[in-house]
Structure 1
Amino acid sequence: MSEVKTIETEQKERIAGILQGAVDPHVHSGPSIAPRAVDHLELAQIYSKAGFAAMVTKDHDYSGVMCARMIRDHYADLSTQVLSGIVLNNVVGGINPYAVEHTAAMDGRIVWLPTLAAENHLKWEKSSGWAHPASTQKIRAAKAVSLFDGGKLRPEVVDLLDVMAATGMALASGHIHVSETKIVFAEARKRGVERLIFTHPEDIVGASMDDTREIADMGAYVEHSLAFFLEGSKFRTRKNEDLKAFIDLVGAERTILCSDLGQTGTLSPLEGFQRGVATCIELGYSDAQIRAMVSTNAADVIGLAA
């Protein structure tokens, strides 16, 4: 029994060590119009105790840069840097370069293309049974935010990409279809956007393994949501071997693992990372490989100073 306890303790210590300096670049803490189990400040305190370097809050309905700034200004003792970005859904006017510029001016780090308002998401939603938790009680249903007009990128999208190139923020694909991601990312590269994130190819966006490799070859990081892989997560749609297949497809050096957690009734973001690291150990990845996936790759794409 004591030997078992020792092994368990060693495993916990190994996981805790790997998570020193971790970065969660996609977490759904609150406040939010949707139910959240933890708010931004509470999560920053939890992550600070666990040794995380940074977290990037993501809300489908508002830019979190003001909240992040207040926390940084008033809680300087936190070791976890609280950052945020903006999701280009209806609430901020869809593809809105003005809102993106403002977000950048407030130290925003990531711009997500439409999620709940993506044409692809709305099609997926009809067959998935998923709906925004607050849509029937508090807000009207999402209206599609289109990126294309007559098969060409809308002028607002081109303007957006120029803003991205000028500000250095990371562009994440959100919930648009993988076919759209390829076009937008190719144009982004042409216009000087250096930081690209392919959002959870494992669900919603319709990506194949070949699609995922092609986008990684564009220079994008491939971001996987632990919420879709972990036992105990109410969002689980994939198995451990699927995670390994995705990681091996592009290598640990192009892979980012985020929690995509913070919702009520499921794993906490920290539990997600702890179980995610344990899963990666079980799958045979080295500590250095796991650390890249939970720390240094995300730090690089959001421009976090070393």
Structure 2
Amino acid sequence: MSTPNDLLGPGLDGDRLTPDDEADALLRGAVDLHQHPGPSPFPRRMTILDAARDADSLGFRAIVAKSHHHSMVTDILALRPEGLAGLGVQVFGGIALNRTVGGLNPYAVELALRMGGRMVWFPTLSSAAHIDHHREHDTGFPTSEVELRPNEVIRITDGEGTVLPEVRDILDVIAGEDAVLTCGHLGVDEAHILIDAAQQAGVRRIVVNHPCFVVGAPVEQAAEWARRGVFIEHCAVMYFGRPERRRDLGELLAFIRAAGPEQTVLSSDSGQKVNPLPVTLYRRAVRALLDAGVPEADIVRMTGGNAAGPLFP
């Protein structure tokens, strides 16, 4: 059985061995809405159980395991008697509406949520914004270790801009289960349409994932969504991951100021073979925010309190 220290990579996680009691204390009760453990067609450096043990070692309240390719809800259920149930951290899953689950599939959404899932990600790898961005830029996305056919674009509207019936069906299921809708990798225009439709359908818990990556939402747009009660998620791997891929901390601080810490969620978006572990990234994020003068109460809110609401209604 692996322990959290067994996971640490000297080059990626070396600073985990440096004491930071102040940061660690603020992470008690943290909630990570966006982790990428295995199993996955993409190479991962941790399993769901590994990720849970590492989060538990620092007193996290909950983590969410996400796959771009399949629902992890049944993986989590299978692991409960194998060690998950004995940990202090709760582990949730959900479903990403890409081609490998049938796309905009209300049957798959209903199954995932009624088996205990809490999250529904609208298309990520199959969104037009993702496919266009991946074609034109180095996104940092890994190459599948399993041979898969290329993704085809999934859109949420018809040719006239009307929301598809299957999207409305999915939104009704999410609302009925009081689950969390995230906009996935939809571009700004599609995300805006989805948020409108979701709120009309009575969906109460909405998250926009990493607005400055693939989605392409400027600070002003994120602030407008936040005023409507949408949570704006930012991923620690983008600001505190490998040095050659880090975005500027000033960008993150600008988004936080615009949307407000009350509507901001910090997640890790990590678990990939080449990136630091989620807990490593959370420690770095907390230290950087403290050094930037962000109040402790706001850090606790963004690393745990805001995300706990959607997961524990």
Do both share a fold (TM > 0.5)?
yes
1:43 aligns with 2:51: yes
Measured against aligned partners, the alpha-carbon deviations of 1:104-134 in whole angstroms (never above 9, x if no partner) come to 1111111000000001111111111347534
- Distance in 2, Cα, partners of 1:232 & 1:92: 31
Determine helix, strand or coil for the equivalent of 2:172.
Answer: helix
| Corresponding residue number in structure 2 for 1:113 | 122
- Structure 1 unmatched runs, 5+: 1-8
Determine helix, strand or coil for the equivalent of 1:197.
Answer: strand
The sequence identity of aligned pairs, in percent, is: 36
Measured after TM superposition, the shift of residue 135 of structure 1 is: 4.4
| Corresponding residue number in structure 2 for 1:293 | 302
Contact 1:199 1:224 in 2 (8 A): yes
Determine helix, strand or coil for the equivalent of 1:244.
Answer: helix
- Distance in 1, Cα, partners of 2:175 & 2:217: 26
Cα 1:235/1:28, change in 2 over 3 Å: farther
1:53 aligns with 2:67: no
- Structure 2 unmatched runs, 5+: 1-16
Cα 1:29/1:303, change in 2 over 3 Å: same
1:229 aligns with 2:239: yes
| Corresponding residue number in structure 2 for 1:193 | 203
Measured after TM superposition, the shift of residue 51 of structure 1 is: 0.5
| Corresponding residue number in structure 1 for 2:269 | 260
Determine helix, strand or coil for the equivalent of 1:86.
Answer: strand
Cα 1:274/1:194, change in 2 over 3 Å: same
TM-score (norm: length of structure 2): 0.90
- Distance in 2, Cα, partners of 1:292 & 1:129: 32
- Equivalent of 1:240 in 222, 231, 249: 249
What letter matches 1:265 in structure 2? V
Measured against aligned partners, the alpha-carbon deviations of 1:14-41 in whole angstroms (never above 9, x if no partner) come to 1110010111110011111100011100
- Distance in 2, Cα, partners of 1:133 & 1:260: 13
Measured after TM superposition, the shift of residue 282 of structure 1 is: 1.3
Alignment of 1:270-289 (within 5 A): 270-289=279-298
| Corresponding residue number in structure 1 for 2:194 | 184
Measured against aligned partners, the alpha-carbon deviations of 1:250-304 in whole angstroms (never above 9, x if no partner) come to 1111100000000012211111111011111111112111010001100102226
| Corresponding residue number in structure 1 for 2:22 | 14
Contact 2:156 2:163 in 1 (8 A): yes
- Distance in 2, Cα, partners of 1:151 & 1:183: 9
Measured after TM superposition, the shift of residue 11 of structure 1 is: 7.0
Cα 1:252/1:106, change in 2 over 3 Å: same
What letter matches 1:84 in structure 2? G
Contact 1:72 1:81 in 2 (8 A): no
TM-score (norm: length of structure 1): 0.92
Determine helix, strand or coil for the equivalent of 1:202.
Answer: helix
Contact 2:241 2:281 in 1 (8 A): no
- Distance in 1, Cα, partners of 2:82 & 2:300: 30
What letter matches 1:89 in structure 2? N
| Corresponding residue number in structure 2 for 1:208 | 218
Measured after TM superposition, the shift of residue 136 of structure 1 is: 8.0
What letter matches 1:64 in structure 2? M
Cα 1:132/1:141, change in 2 over 3 Å: farther
Measured after TM superposition, the shift of residue 140 of structure 1 is: 1.1
- Over the residues paired in the alignment, what is the CA RMSD in angstroms? 1.8
| Corresponding residue number in structure 2 for 1:175 | 185
| Corresponding residue number in structure 1 for 2:10 | none
| Corresponding residue number in structure 2 for 1:5 | none
Contact 2:43 2:144 in 1 (8 A): no
Contact 1:86 1:110 in 2 (8 A): yes
- Distance in 2, Cα, partners of 1:99 & 1:183: 22
Contact 2:76 2:91 in 1 (8 A): yes
For structure 1, which segment, 188-197 or 134-143, has the greater mean C-alpha deviation from structure 2 after superposition? 134-143
Measured after TM superposition, the shift of residue 193 of structure 1 is: 0.3
- Equivalent of 2:86 in 77, 96, 116: 77
Determine helix, strand or coil for the equivalent of 1:153.
Answer: coil
Contact 1:234 1:266 in 2 (8 A): no
Contact 2:41 2:146 in 1 (8 A): no
- Distance in 2, Cα, partners of 1:18 & 1:176: 32
